[in-house]
A = this chain, B = another copy of it.
Amino acid sequence: MGNIKTLDLPLKTTPATIEDVARLAEVSIATVSRAIHMPEKVAASTRQKIDHAIAVTGYSANAMARSLRLGRSNMILAIAPDISDPNFSPILIGLEKEARANGLGLLIGHTQGDPLRGIEYLKFMNAHQAAGMILFTGYVPSDPNQPAPRLPPSVAVVEPMAHGSIPFVGVDDRLGARKLLELLLAHGHRRIAFIGDSRARLAHHRRRIGFDEGVAAAGLRDSQMVLDSDGTLEGGRAAIERLFLRDDLPTAFLCVNDQTAAGVMMGLTARGYDVPKDFSVTGFDDIPQANFLSPGLTTIRQPRTAIGQEAMALLLRMLEGEGAEQPETLLMPDLIVRGTVGPPAPWPLNRKGFAKGS
């Protein structure tokens, strides 16, 4: 009889079910299930028969049936405003890697920065009973017309949550900014401008705080400068244009991110200045483009893949039932020194494109 079963298996065209395995191993399906999930509960000899049957049939459990029964899928939903953002995609890799290693799948959601699309995903997540969520957005999407849905365990990355108690995994922004400032100070800079909008994003706000702290610690409160900029390349360039309408120029620019720094560099180059001879510039993030600027941008590298893995590992622990042991996990920022920082130019600088300042 066993023989017959072994023989007619290749005829089957649909994937093997637990029943096929049970039949072949001559046990009940319950025992097969147990052999898989609680091996210590089944006799060694039986286990062996079952293992063999599994190998022969190529059985792997139907995840849908399993999820249905368990009331929870093995999918983690990652919601990001822009998956192609070079800051995000390596995090996705880290997330995916860690998830896979634990038999979970990573489902991606892309909101394009549109909170409405977030609501869609909420529905989707609900329907799919995602086991957990990773949020890149800094807020929980919610539909005002519906009662708040129960969220699965969630972890925030990149941008800490504005409200609520969702744990955050990311780089230590404050410390990163501090490191950059120290570098500029070490080179002798005293008039340093921070370029960025510290209100829009909490992560950027923290960079600003690091800057402020460093400035205060060095006793330079009066000579600091802050220029608003929206965090884009264009914004960086525009900030430079506005700056040169003024008289008091800094000798260095600490930019809230690399895009801004690139814009600043382009703005300065366009005016005929040289970086780092005339001005020093620093970025933040170490996006892949940073190394393609000339000179290469001195910046802070985010340990992106590590952030992803760490975040997923934390989520996994939360799924095991342990609460998040700490609200924030801050990873060490790496200072990447390339070519955009040098000693300050002698003051007053020979202004180009404008009459010389007083």
Residues of A with Cβ closer than 8 Å to B? 10, 13, 15, 58, 60-65, 67-68, 73, 75, 82-84, 86, 89-90, 92-93, 96-97, 100, 105-110, 120, 123-124, 126-129, 146-147, 150, 262, 288-289, 292-294
Contact = CB atoms under 8 A, between A and B. Distances in A.
**Copies of chain A in the complex:** 2
15 contacts: A10-B147, A58-B146, A64-B64, A75-B107, A83-B96, A86-B86, A86-B288, A96-B108, A96-B110, A100-B110, A106-B108, A107-B107, A292-B292, A292-B293, A293-B294
A27 to B, nearest CB: 22
Nearest to A72: B64
Contacts of A90: 84
A199 B86 CA distance: 29
A334 to B, nearest CB: 18
Nearest to A70: B64
Given A63-B127, A64-B64, 16 more contacts: A10-B147, A13-B150, A15-B126, A58-B146, A63-B128, A64-B68, A83-B89, A84-B89, A96-B109, A100-B124, A105-B128, A106-B107, A288-B289, A289-B292, A292-B292, A293-B294
A129 B61 CA distance: 11
B84 A292 contact: no
Contacts of A146: 58
